[in-house]
Amino acid sequence: MLYDEGSTAARTSSSDTICARIRNTSDLIRPELKSLYSLWQEKAGKRRAPARSDFDVSELVPWLPHILLSDYLDNGTDARFRVVGTWIVEQYGKDHSGKTASEIDFAGRSLEILSEYNIVANAMMPHRVCGAFFKHTGARDYRTAERLLLPLSKDGAVCDKFLTAIYFIDD
C-alpha cells in the first residue's frame, strides 16, 4: 500500500483500493457506516479512540452481521479476528473467527490488509477503504465494498483492537 503521511489517502499498487482518513460522516457513503462512525466518536469523547469495553454488544446490534472485531498483535505484524459477522462470512465464504491474518491467505491480500490496519493504528484515526470485494477463493466479487476501520484503545493513545464494518456500496 502506498501512503503519504501528509496525505489523507493511500492507493494500493496492486488494486483499485483506496484507504482514506475519515474526518466526518460526509466522508462515508453508506448510512450504516455513518451511524457507526458517529457512535465511535461519541464513545471516544475527548480521547483519540474509545476502548472495546466502551461498547455494549446491544449497541452494536444494527451492525453485527457486518462487523469484524480484531486484535492488533505484535506491533502490527499480525491481527486476530475475534468476531466475524454473519454477513461477512456469507459473502466471503468462510468463517475465520479466532484466526490470525498470518493463518489466512485472504486471496493473497493479507499483507495489504495488515498494511491498512497499520495505517489506522499509527494515525489513531478512523479510515475508509473502498475497493473490490474478494471471496476466499480469490474470486473477485464485482461489487465494490466500503469498509470503515475504527481504532480501539484501552489507554486512549495506543491502538490494540479494530472495529471494522463492511457494506457493499452498490447493492
H helix intervals, the chain: 31-44, 86-92, 110-123
Per-domain boundaries in the chain: 2-168
Q: What is the pLDDT of residue 49?
A: 97
Residue given cell 456500496 in the structure block: 169
Most confident of 13-27, 74-88, 99-113, 122-136: 74-88
Nearest Cα residue to 22 out of 137, 165, 132: 165
Is the pTM value of this prediction over 0.95?
no
Task: With a cut of 50, say whether residue 2 has pLDDT above it.
Answer: no
pLDDT tens readout for residues 132-168: 776 655 555 567 889 999 999 999 899 999 999 999 9
Q: What is the pLDDT of residue 19?
A: 85
If one compares 62 and 171, the residue with the highest pLDDT of the two is 62
Characterize the bridge pairing of strands 2-3 and 67-73. unpaired
Q: Cβ distance 102 to 110 under 8 Å?
A: yes
d(CA 31, CA 150): 16
pLDDT tens readout for residues 34-43: 999 999 999 9
Arithmetic mean of pLDDT, 69-96: 91
pLDDT tens readout for residues 100-139: 888 886 666 677 888 899 999 999 999 999 987 766 555 5
Grid coordinates representing 72 are 492488533
- CATH architecture of the domain with residue range 2-168: 2-Layer Sandwich (3.30)
Beta bridge partners of 94: none
Q: What is the pLDDT of residue 18?
A: 75
Question: Both ends of the chain: CA-CA distance in Å?
Answer: 27
Torsion angles phi and psi, residue 4, rounded to 5: -100, 115
Torsion angles phi and psi, residue 148, rounded to 5: -110, 120
